[in-house]
Amino acid sequence: MMKTYNDGIIKVYKENDNLEKTNFNEKKNVKKLSDMEFIITLAFKEMSKRQQDIEFANTLGHSLSMKVKTRLVDKVKSSHKVVYEGFIYDIIYIDIDKENKELYLYMEEVQPINA
């Protein structure tokens, strides 16, 4: 049986290694697509944010903006960024469901993309 992921499309990126550093030698925040390198486009199904998901994100020092389910791919890492509807999201946690060949991405909205 084919699974359907018809709530939307996310694009996954990784930060460019050559992103400028701040005066304190820390990487600047990603603000535009040119700050990142495209990895993959994924269709997703949006999942409800359970209370335990919200609390889990809080223990990691994040707020859970969005939780999605997509097909299992090995290219997606928690250090990557997601772009969806004009916003950049951090992937704060990835839950792998090998039996069903799916990934659950827990994401925190960071900021809108600058043109």
Sketch the domain layout of the chain as residue ranges: 8-112
E-strand ranges in 2-86 read 8-15, 36-47, 66-71, 81-84
pLDDT value of position 17: 74
Is a pLDDT exceeding 70 seen at residue 59? yes
Is a pLDDT exceeding 90 seen at residue 57? yes
How far, in Å, CA of 94 to CA of 91, rounded?
Answer: 7
Mean pLDDT (the chain) is 90
| Residue carrying structure tokens 């994401």 | 107
Question: Is there a contact between 105 and 62 (Cβ–Cβ < 8 Å)?
Answer: no
Is a pLDDT exceeding 70 seen at residue 41? yes
- Domain 8-112 top-level CATH class: mainly beta
pLDDT value of position 115: 64
pLDDT in tens, 100-110: 999 999 999 99
